[in-house]
């Protein structure tokens, strides 16, 4: 399983959790975004927490594309975004 497939599988696992079964999709998305805010204040094991935040954000992007006919390649979206930011950083 490639990283994109793993992200989609974990996102589906989160959606299938008993607490999420009857939740509105917007509430599910808020829960993922709240995870980012929750983790941002910790000082213990900073690297792991930052990676948790990054993963929560990628899983939220997957959730935003849940209705797409094909699974979104979230790592490609991230790569495109990094390229856009890199281009902005080159501007005077």
The predicted-structure confidence for 9-51, as pLDDT tens digits, reads as follows 888 888 888 988 888 888 888 877 776 666 555 756 667 777 8
Q: Is this structure's pTM higher than 0.85? A: no
Residues 6+ apart with CB under 8 A from 20: 14, 28, 31
Report how far residue 84's alpha carbon sits from residue 37's, in angstroms, rounded to the nearest whole number. Answer: 24
How does residue 62 score in pLDDT terms, banded at 50, 70 and 90? Answer: very high
DSSP state of 69: S
Q: Tell me: pLDDT of 3 over 70.
A: yes
- Residues 6 or more apart from 39 whose CB is under 8 A from it? 49, 50, 52, 53, 56
Is 74 in contact with 4 (CB distance < 8 Å)?
A: yes
């Amino acid at each position: 399983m490639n990283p994109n497939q793993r992200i989609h599988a974990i996102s589906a696992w989160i959606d299938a959790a008993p607490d999420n079964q009857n939740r509105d999709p917007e509430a599910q998305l808020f829960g993922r975004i709240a995870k980012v805010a929750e983790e941002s204040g910790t000082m213990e094991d900073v690297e792991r927490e930052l990676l948790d935040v990054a993963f929560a954000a990628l899983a939220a992007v997957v959730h935003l594309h849940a209705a797409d006919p094909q699974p979104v390649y979230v790592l490609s979206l991230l790569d495109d975004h990094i390229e856009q930011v890199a281009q902005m950083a080159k501007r005077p």
